[in-house]
A and B are shown apart, each in its own frame.
Chain A
């Protein structure tokens, strides 16, 4: 069965802290994605990766960075967390693009920055 796991369901951090959100997929998928979800704004793509060590900016990359050292793991990094980064963060993976672009999502991490 397809599985995407995220390291935490809930996370509370202080302003200025460095925050790591981890995502692991067990499907040998090429692509991995990080989204944030806010009420009324839908799913907004932060970064994606189509290969190990490759990354591409999405629609809202400011304030975030990513790391993909292994195929199955994709990390989202908030270098200095701010209150406007309080949100639900969703990780996804897909086999490829186009016809194979079915994305499989993790359960999400609700991050609160105080």
Chain B
């Protein structure tokens, strides 16, 4: 089955710097890649997603890139702010059959003011 690896497990950046979180997946049939943000005391919430027919997607300060050949995708956060501090999860889905998302283990991002 699908396996999603996520790195790093923890990341600290200065406010205003950029943060990059990387994920790799194993199943070449996967075609949907969402990113979730989990703030303290809350459930994860979708922040951005990308499908396999697109190489990059951007939404204000966050962007996701996908390299299907290498089977990896990344989350980029620019001009980080303290409210970006959270745990971020990547996930992958085959998009067919009754196959749920497979999540990475998460990255704890700390933005230092």
- Which A positions have Cβ atoms within 8 angstroms of B? 4, 31, 33, 40-43, 45, 48, 50, 56, 58, 90, 92, 97-99, 101-108
- Which B positions have Cβ atoms within 8 angstroms of A? 6, 9, 31-32, 34, 36, 41-46, 49, 51, 89, 93-101, 103-106
- Contact of B93 with A108 in the complex, beta carbons under 8 Å: no
- Contact of B46 with A102 in the complex, beta carbons under 8 Å: yes
User: Complex Cα distance A71/B61, Å?
Assistant: 37
User: Complex Cα distance A4/B93, Å?
Assistant: 22
- Contact of B43 with A105 in the complex, beta carbons under 8 Å: yes
* Min C-beta distance of B11 to chain A, whole Å: 15
- Contact of B103 with A101 in the complex, beta carbons under 8 Å: no
- The chain B residue with its CB closest to the CB of A56 is B98
Note all chain A residues with C-beta closer than 8 A to B51: 99
- Interface SS majority for chain B: loop
Q: Which of B31, B49, B100, B104 contacts A33 (CB 8 A)?
A: B100
- Contact of A45 with B94 in the complex, beta carbons under 8 Å: no
20 A-B pairs with CB atoms under 8 Å apart are A41-B105, A42-B105, A42-B106, A43-B89, A48-B100, A58-B100, A97-B99, A97-B100, A98-B31, A98-B32, A98-B94, A98-B96, A99-B95, A101-B93, A102-B34, A103-B36, A103-B44, A105-B44, A106-B43, A108-B43
User: Complex Cα distance A105/B36, Å?
Assistant: 10
User: Complex Cα distance A42/B36, Å?
Assistant: 12
- Contact of B93 with A43 in the complex, beta carbons under 8 Å: no
- Contact of A42 with B103 in the complex, beta carbons under 8 Å: yes
Q: Which of A4, A40, A42 contacts B89 (CB 8 A)?
A: A42
